Amino acid sequence: MKGINLKYLLTCLIIILCLFLGSSCVHIETSPPPSPPPSPTATPIDPNWTPPPPESNTLVLPNFADVVAEVKPSVVAINTEVITYDIFNRPFTQEGAGSGWIIDEDGIIVTNSHVVEGAKAITVTLADGRTFPVETVRTDPLTDLAIVTIDAQNLPAANIGDSSRLRICDPVVAIGNPLGLGISAKPGWVSRLGVSLQISSGQTLYALIETDAPINPGNSGGALVNMSQEVIGITSAKIAMVGVEGMGYAISINQAMPIIKELIQKGYVIYPWLGVVLHTVDQWLASRYDLAVNKGAFITELLPGSPADKAGLEPGDVITEFAGEEVTTAEELIQAIRSSQIGQRVKITFWRGDAKNTTYAILIERPR
């Protein structure tokens, strides 16, 4: 063993011995897999429950076609001729078109006052194509309602509904003679109820139905119909402005019927009259005239000899109570006057400057 390093041999033997002993004595201990957690105890909610069956009643959408088929024969086209003048004051005949609907089988037709007012000749064309000259015209410009008659019998009169039962988003159909092109129907929905709309200086329509059913020139006087095939409004006006859509208006049938009845029975409408021109008190008016109140009906004009004149009222007074009811707008006072009786003595509370006063007026019939 000459030439072999003894120390090197001893080191190799120790390493071999350790490897041998380690391979025979090492014990690898493994852990058992964890057991699953115990299942929670659950109480059934209803062991006998079953899913509900599919709904068998399918929602039926409104059938506008059936409504139009029923009501269209009662709607008429109205054509008018009006004498007007050019810039050189030369007369010429201008033609106009509107709508109406049959309220009585013996030729009584409802329309708007502005459709027939001032016309020298008026004709009515029925749904079956027959044309009749108008024999009688009765108008009430305050409410924009009119009655015309033709010599015809056994006409298909429309059914009358109850506009007080309308709800916002109820479906409706406007049937009329838009642009004078013939009777057509436009469906839509009720947008608002009880709307007041000033259509000209000094004239405001009340209790209107707002609808998005398209209303165009020529539709005036036509029928606004519910899904029960009943007339619940008389199409009368629309807001025509750039960027404004779906704001047409109809006079509610409940508001119109008392006027229609008087036009048929008497030929004119009787209104109680106070004899004042009014404006609603607003912030600008209160500041402009240094008023002591910020609401009420401001008297802008007063007719001599009228009940208001005899009661001692003056222009510049602000009426805040009428017949025991609070008045906050000119429209409220007008409605209160119209709801009163001719000959009725009414108590009026008003402000003149900083003083609150009371007076009494006896209403008379409005001059025709």
Considering the candidates 99, 144, 184, 252, report the single residue annotated as catalytic: 144
Query: Which of the residues 74, 114, 184, 306 is marked catalytic?
Result: 114
Is 144 part of the annotated catalytic residue set? Answer: yes
Q: Could you tell me if 104 and 76 are in contact, meaning their C-beta atoms sit under 8 angstroms apart? A: no
DSSP assignment of 40-88, as one string? PP---S-TT--PPPPP--PPPPP-HHHHHHHHGGGEEEEEEEEEEE-TT
Burial of 236 from C-beta contacts in 10 A (0-12 / 13-18 / 19+):
buried
Selected catalytic residue, list 113, 163, 184, 220: 220
Is 212 catalytic? The answer is: no
Strand partners, 356: 351
| Cα gap 148→138, rounded to integer Å | 6
Alpha helical stretches, state H, the chain: 6-25, 64-71, 113-116, 253-265, 283-288, 307-310, 330-338
114 belongs to the catalytic site:
yes
Q: How far apart are CA 126 and CA 109, in angstroms?
A: 11
CA angle (349 as vertex; 345, 353 as ends), nearest 5: 140
Active site residues per annotation: 114, 144, 220
